[in-house]
């Protein structure tokens, strides 16, 4: 067996208020059944997605930092023919997603509880058709910018994982972070901005439901930005 993988340093909360009884039960009984096995990461081998989901030939979509899980649960319910992986470190968010899945009955979701940067190296190349990074922590202070999930190295890896024509969706209600996203993704050689006009950044598509964090921001007067990029064909 190879040496265990060195895990990324995670910044931010791991747990908030204590979980309620039903949430605790879901975490204890359901989460183990639909978790991405962390043993795969320690053994340094690619995750077998067909085995993970118990089927083959389906598209796989990834949501990075799914928050309360509203968006991921909606996508899973409305796209039952797609396999979903959700990555989230915050246990309260994981419990929230489990509650949504319990309500809508979706069976096509697997959860990685941890820093997604630790999982990305173990996904097979060209295995993802869509990736969502919605309202990530903006880390406002300049000295904390390195903690932002949208970095050149992350985009490089996502470009390797996305199929040709695959889609990367990002959203934020922090205009500084929106500029940061554009400055790193627009010039990236493997991505092309999907926009009929440069004003499309403030419009969601019909298959893009709101998240709880998005609604909170809107109530506070924040104006969200929505970005869609396609993975350019490999030469």
Q: Give SS3 for 132.
A: strand
Work out the pLDDT band at 179, boundaries 50, 70, 90.
very high
Please tell me the least confidently modeled range out of 8-12, 50-54, 75-79, 137-141. Answer: 8-12
In a domain, 218, yes or no: yes
Write down the pLDDT at residue 4.
42
Please list the helix, strand and coil fractions of the chain in percent, rounded to the nearest 5, in that order.
40, 20, 45
115 assigned to a ligand binding site: yes
Mean local confidence (pLDDT), 193-200:
72
Residue 180 has pLDDT above 90, yes or no: yes
In a domain, 6, yes or no: no
Write down the pLDDT at residue 9.
53
25 assigned to a ligand binding site: no
141 assigned to a ligand binding site: yes
Q: What is the mean pLDDT of the chain?
A: 89
What is the spatial distance between Cα 218 and Cα 222, in angstroms, rounded to a whole number?
Answer: 5
Measured from the Cβ of residue 1, the count of other Cβ atoms closer than 10 Å reads 6
In this structure, the chain runs to a length of 235
Work out the pLDDT band at 203, boundaries 50, 70, 90.
confident
Please tell me the least confidently modeled range out of 85-94, 168-177, 215-224. Answer: 215-224
The number of distinct structural domains making up the chain is: 1
In a domain, 13, yes or no: no
Write down the pLDDT at residue 218.
87
Catalytic residue positions?
137
Write down the pLDDT at residue 1.
37
Mean local confidence (pLDDT), 199-224:
85
What is the spatial distance between Cα 129 and Cα 230, in angstroms, rounded to a whole number?
Answer: 10
What phi, psi does 140 have (nearest 5°)?
-60, -35
In a domain, 115, yes or no: yes
137 assigned to a ligand binding site: yes
Work out the pLDDT band at 198, boundaries 50, 70, 90.
low
Tell me the H-state helices in the chain. 21-29, 31-34, 38-42, 49-53, 70-78, 91-104, 116-119, 152-161, 175-185, 212-219
What is the spatial distance between Cα 109 and Cα 82, in angstroms, rounded to a whole number?
Answer: 9
Residue 97 has pLDDT above 90, yes or no: yes
In a domain, 7, yes or no: no
Mean local confidence (pLDDT), 61-81:
97
Mean local confidence (pLDDT), 28-42:
87
What is the spatial distance between Cα 6 and Cα 42, in angstroms, rounded to a whole number?
Answer: 9
214 assigned to a ligand binding site: yes
Query: Residue 209's domain spans which residues?
Result: 21-231
192 assigned to a ligand binding site: no
How far CA 58 is from CA of 49, 50, 98, 127, in Å, comes to 10, 9, 22, 10
What is the spatial distance between Cα 70 and Cα 182, in angstroms, rounded to a whole number?
Answer: 25
Write down the pLDDT at residue 65.
96
What is the spatial distance between Cα 113 and Cα 105, in angstroms, rounded to a whole number?
Answer: 20
In a domain, 1, yes or no: no
Write down the pLDDT at residue 197.
60
Write down the pLDDT at residue 38.
77
Task: Please tell me the pTM assigned to this model.
Answer: 0.90
In a domain, 4, yes or no: no
CATH number for 142 = 3.40.50.150
Please tell me the least confidently modeled range out of 81-90, 191-200, 205-214. Answer: 191-200
Residue 200 has pLDDT above 80, yes or no: no
211 assigned to a ligand binding site: yes
Work out the pLDDT band at 90, boundaries 50, 70, 90.
very high
Write down the pLDDT at residue 109.
98
In a domain, 75, yes or no: yes
Over residues 100-134, the pLDDT tens digits come to 999 999 999 999 999 999 999 999 999 999 999 99
């Amino acid at each position: 067996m190879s040496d265990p993988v060195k895990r990324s340093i995670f910044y931010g909360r791991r747990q908030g208020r204590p979980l309620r009884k039903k949430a605790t039960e879901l975490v204890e009984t359901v989460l183990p059944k639909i978790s991405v096995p962390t043993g795969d990461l320690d053994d340094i081998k690619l995750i077998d997605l067909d085995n993970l989901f118990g089927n083959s030939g389906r598209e796989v979509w990834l949501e990075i930092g799914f928050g309360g899980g509203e968006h991921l649960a909606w996508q899973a319910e409305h796209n039952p023919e797609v396999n979903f992986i959700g990555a989230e470190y915050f246990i309260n968010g994981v419990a929230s997603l489990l509650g949504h899945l319990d309500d809508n009955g979706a069976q096509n979701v697997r959860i990685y509880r941890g820093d997604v940067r630790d999982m990305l190296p173990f996904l097979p190349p060209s295995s993802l058709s869509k990736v969502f990074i919605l309202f990530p922590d903006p880390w406002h202070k300049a000295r904390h910018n390195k903690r932002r999930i949208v970095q050149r190295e992350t985009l490089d890896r996502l470009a390797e994982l996305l199929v040709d024509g695959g889609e990367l969706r990002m959203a934020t209600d922090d205009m500084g972070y929106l500029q940061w996203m554009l400055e790193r993704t627009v010039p990236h050689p493997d991505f092309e901005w999907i926009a009929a006009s440069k004003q499309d950044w403030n419009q969601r598509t019909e298959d893009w439901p709101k998240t709880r964090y998005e609604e909170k921001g809107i109530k506070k007067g924040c104006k969200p930005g929505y970005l869609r990029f396609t993975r350019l064909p490999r030469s």
